[in-house]
Structure 1
């Protein structure tokens, strides 16, 4: 099979196109002829050496694929080595994909869609009418969180993004307002976007100074959900006295732990597929690259030059 692997840690330049034996199909698994593979920031970190690959190097990265199984069904799911023309998926977590969904649209619903759904519903426990701030509102998770917040009844949705083009995209997806997400001046911009009032929910994958700034815009019983630290880890712990004074909460979310407990199908993927097929949410596909151009795909993702979901077409 055709595959992309790396034999040393580094940037996207360490990726190499290779020919490898077909993957071994284990008990409870099914082989899939891959149509496309999802590209995620976790791939960038793994290739850089932050997350050690199971089994060591060389290693084929990629955690999600869509393709055809032996019965000819179009299916998707999580896998161990996705940047390849063939993969194996767990039979119990196969998701049958309607033909009306493009490969990138469908893949966007896996890691990004499930994260967005559970950030709002399970972690933030967002209630109808509440205000929601979505950091990186044009990204893979953010673009879906903006739409899902609207579907779930948010009263006002505010997105942050680094450029006017990205802010315009967030507004087109349903954000009532979109502002620069930089830490300097963050509180003033967000409060103004919320018509002078503190906010109820903030979804943060940026961390660092932006995390600290986001705490200052929470209103009474406000909740901040952290699910990443793109700008670096927060320098200081959250002051409990600050939380007590505002009856506020900070919590975290990690999709991998949820999937380990519930499995893919039990985590809500069917609901997301139904919403997408019905047109109530529109997964954004920001870049489709041939498998052989994995280096460019990873470089563009790491350089923040993409929006929505990035995929490798096989």
Structure 2
């Protein structure tokens, strides 16, 4: 099979196209002819050796859509996705409808499931509550905006860094969209929420934005952190501020849930049903040939892409 392999840690330049033996499925695995493989920022971190990197050499990637040996179109998590063939655990196989594109489907896997659990599991969103989604045009954010509405949010406020991204969030159903920078954040969010603090805020920025977001959370509201895009800017929590407003702060990481056997099947199937019904719209991004994996990863790192980036073997 054709695959992208790295033999040393580093940047996208370490990705090399090679020929490898076809993987042999175990008794609990399914062999998939890969239609498309998802590209994530986390892939770049594994290649660099900064995030859960396996032993060298390895084939990066974890998301695949494709066909089984008996012709079923499926999707799921794979150990080595940047390849023409991959293995998916049988318990994790999710049937993929023919009328949903691979890019849209793969946008639902890690990012879509993260958005679903942020709202339903971590924040425990209740019907009629208001929600703020930071980085609302991102892979998780653009789906969280739509899912918040599906789950009964009374008002959805999006924050983003450019007019183009704010307009995208509005087109996806946000009631209001405001600049997401730290200075003046709370004032803008409260104004956009009709003078009220928000019940739920979802944040993957951290740092000064996280601190500013605390000032926009209502009494008994929840601020959920699921990332720290501002790596150099820590997110200290002043417990006194939490006590003053009875605010809860929680963290969320999707990986432990994905690692459970069958741990994402029901939720992913639900997201696919919502997509097929036109009730949510995952955004597919640029497609690259497998041989251009290094360029795809470079573009993701440089934030030159929008929507779900995929490789096509």
Q: Give the alignment's TM-score, normalised by structure 1.
A: 0.95
Alignment of 1:92 onto 2:74: no
**What is the match of residue 256 of structure 2?**
257
Alpha-carbon distance in structure 2 between the residues aligned to 1:307 and 1:191 = 28
Alpha-carbon distance, 1:94 to partner? 0.4
The 5 Å alignment of 1:63-142 reads 63-142=62-141
Offset from partner CA, 1:283-312 (integer Å, 9 cap, x none): 111221111111221122112222221111
> Which residue in 1 is equivalent to 2:8?
8
Query: How far 1:259 moved relative to its partner?
Result: 2.5
Against the structure 1 CA distance between its residues 75 and 247, is the aligned structure 2 distance closer, same or farther, given a 3 Å change threshold?
A: same
CA distance in 2, matches of 1:240, 1:270: 39
Give me the CA root mean square deviation.
1.5
**CA separation in 1, counterparts of 2:195 and 2:244?**
20
Contact in 2 for aligned 1:148/1:281 (Cα 8 Å): yes
Give the corresponding residue for 2:179: 180
Does the residue aligned with 1:113 lie in a helix, a strand or coil?
helix
CA distance 1:240–1:262, change in 2 (3 Å): farther
Aligned to 2:199: 200
* Distance in 2, Cα, partners of 1:76 & 1:297: 21
1:158-173 to structure 2, matched below 5 A, reads: 158-173=157-172
**How many matched pairs?**
313
SS of the aligned residue for 2:140 comes to helix
Contact conserved, 2:132 with 2:200, CA < 8 A, in 1?
A: yes
SS in 2 for 1:140: coil
* Greater alpha carbon shift after TM alignment, 12-21 vs 276-285: 12-21
CA distance in structure 2 between the aligned counterparts of 1:22 and 1:14, rounded to whole angstroms? 22
User: Is the CA contact (8 Å cut-off) linking 1:207 and 1:233 kept in structure 2?
Assistant: no
Q: Distance in 1 between matches of 2:173 and 2:59?
A: 37
5+ residue gaps, structure 1 = none
- Show the counterpart of 2:56: 57
Report whether the alignment pairs 1:28 with 2:18.
no
Q: Which residue of 2 aligns with 1:45?
A: 45
1:276: Cα distance to partner?
0.7
How far, CA to CA, are the matches of 1:185 and 1:11 in structure 2? 36
**Cα deviations across residues 46-86 of structure 1 (Å, max 9, x unaligned)?**
112102422x1121100010000011000110011100000
User: How much does 1:135 deviate?
Assistant: 1.2
SS of 1:68's partner is strand
After superposition, the C-alpha distances for 1:9-39 in whole angstroms (9 at most, x for unaligned) are: 2222221111111123223101110000011
Are the aligned partners of 1:95 and 1:265 in contact in 2 as well (CA < 8 Å)?
Answer: no
Counterpart-to-counterpart distance in 2, 1:233 and 1:204: 16
